[in-house]
Amino acid sequence: MRDPRDTPAFANDLDAMRAHAWRQLARGVEDRRSPFHAPTVATVGLDGRPRLRTVVLRGVEPARARLRFHTDTRSEKVAELRRDARIALHAYDPVAKLQVRIEGAAVLHTADALAEEAWRGSRMASRACYATQPAPGRAIAVPDGFDLPESEDAILAGRAQFCAVEIVAETLETLWLARDGHRRARFVRRPDGSAEADCQEATWEDATWLVP
């Protein structure tokens, strides 16, 4: 049987569990080796079916319950989110045995201060992706039938296709696996009236343990 002294504090404390999940997500932004660096996001496809993609986590604000990744405005996921802002995120660390699932609403930033700051904070190699021709997802005759930008000016022209996507978390669910007893918890954020509200600190109004 596990020595109680070996059980992490978050395993039996809801507030600590939520804080631990956000710390791991925030670590994923800075640490490329973290399994939380490249989570999966789910959107509602234009045909009504679920769509899944791996994205790179670019920003996490635990106090405001927000996460950010970047994408191309020409991509299908942007068209999907413009029609239906509902979005979900999933990440799992097989070493830490921690799964985090988030559901919420997406806010698209293309021509505002947040988008500009995100663009300026991106490496030139990352910016080049947004100047690729033709647009992402288009059919091509051969595997390399697309053009990458060949100059700095061409790369910078990709700014017009750059989109920073914020996920405003509405629910957070965690699952920590342990031989002596898994821990599963669910947290619900109090609505702030608008997914686009730049607001105050997020308030979590409901937290409960769940059967794993």
Say how many domains are in the chain. 1
Q: Can you give the CATH number for the domain in which 104 is found?
A: 2.30.110.10
Contacts of 136 (CB under 8 A, 6+ apart): 72, 74, 75, 76
Element (H, E) at 114: helix 113-120
Confidence of residue 1 (pLDDT cuts 50, 70, 90): very low
DSSP, res 73: T
Please tell me the predicted confidence (pLDDT) of residue 5: 52
The residue segments making up the domain with residue 21 are: 4-123+160-210
Name the nearest CA neighbour of 90 among 102, 108, 105. Answer: 102
Contacts of 188 (CB under 8 A, 6+ apart): 170, 171, 204, 205, 206, 207
101 lies in some domain: yes
Do the bridges between strand 86-93 and strand 40-44 make them parallel or antiparallel, or are there none, so unpaired?
antiparallel
Q: Indicate if the pLDDT at residue 197 is higher than 90.
A: no
Do the bridges between strand 66-72 and strand 86-93 make them parallel or antiparallel, or are there none, so unpaired?
unpaired
Each residue of 12-67: pLDDT tens digit? 999 999 999 999 999 999 999 999 999 999 999 999 999 999 999 999 999 999 99
Contacts of 46 (CB under 8 A, 6+ apart): 76, 79, 80, 83
32 lies in some domain: yes
Name the nearest CA neighbour of 132 among 105, 174, 161. Answer: 161
36 lies in some domain: yes
Question: Using CA atoms, how far apart are residues 141 and 1, in angstroms rounded to an integer?
Answer: 60
52 lies in some domain: yes
141 lies in some domain: no
Please tell me the predicted confidence (pLDDT) of residue 193: 55
Each residue of 144-154: pLDDT tens digit? 999 999 999 99
| The pair of three-digit structure tokens given for residue 199, joined into one six-digit string | 């607001």
140 lies in some domain: no
Confidence of residue 200 (pLDDT cuts 50, 70, 90): low
Each residue of 82-96: pLDDT tens digit? 999 999 999 999 999
152 lies in some domain: no
Please tell me the predicted confidence (pLDDT) of residue 180: 87
Confidence of residue 199 (pLDDT cuts 50, 70, 90): low
Each residue of 99-151: pLDDT tens digit? 999 999 999 999 999 999 999 999 999 999 999 999 999 999 999 999 999 99
Single pTM value for the model: 0.91
195 lies in some domain: yes
